[in-house]
Amino acid sequence: MAKITFILGGARSGKSAFAEELAKKYNDVVYIATAEIKDDEIRERVKAHRARRPFNWKTIESPFHVNEVISNLNEKAGLVFIDCITLYITNMLLSDEMSMSGGEQPFSPTVTKDDQNPIKSPFSKVGLSGINKECDGEKTHLAGCASMQREILKQKHSQILAEINKLSQVCRDSKSEVLIVSNEVGLGIVPDNALSRMFRDIAGGANQILADEADEVYFMVAGIAQRIK
């Protein structure tokens, strides 16, 4: 079974840089990037990440179904590197892939070597945002809209954590060693809206699942790695 290393930290804690240094010890690295490029800011962040990575790493851009990407790797890699879980959660939370009907749409990950091919997702963001648009100007229906939003959030909470459980098992069964990066988002103030609070709760639950499965866990503080498991 694969050795799983889980690296957790806040924003700008140095977690990705630390993970990349660990990954450079391997000759054959498959890097799974979960970011979706939607604006110039994230494009610049992705560009900076790509510039740091060795040219011989294989990059797979997969904002959805990371477990399937790992399962479908045709040959053993020295290391599968997933960066990052919180972006992966964000993609699932804001997309309509996990609808109230439970239906799924296919997704094909993109393999890329440069910044010329933006990630394209087939999933339209109509779930939560669609409800909000329908509710605009309809004050008499606000209570009903809020109730619908709560139901969608509750369902997504369960479905996303189920996806994280599947991912953790696929990582355990992998023939390659696995390195996973995630954000700790629960140390600040309580968010002032339901969507942000649900994101915080899902991220905390996902981190617990992955830390429990991992063989080694590191927590990053100001660029310093503390091994906590």
Domains of the chain, earliest start first = 4-227 (3.40.50.300)
**Helix (H, G, I), strand (E, B), or coil: what is residue 63?**
coil
Average pLDDT in the chain: 82
pLDDT in tens, 174-203: 999 999 999 999 998 899 888 999 999 999
**Catalytic positions:** 49
CA distance 121 to 162: 21
Q: What pLDDT is attached to residue 38?
A: 75
SS3 227: strand
Rounded Cα distance, 205 and 164, in Å: 9
Backbone angles phi, psi at 56, to 5 degrees: -85, -5
Whether residue 44 has pLDDT greater than 90 = no
pTM more than 0.95 = no
Q: What percent of the chain has pLDDT over 90?
A: 57
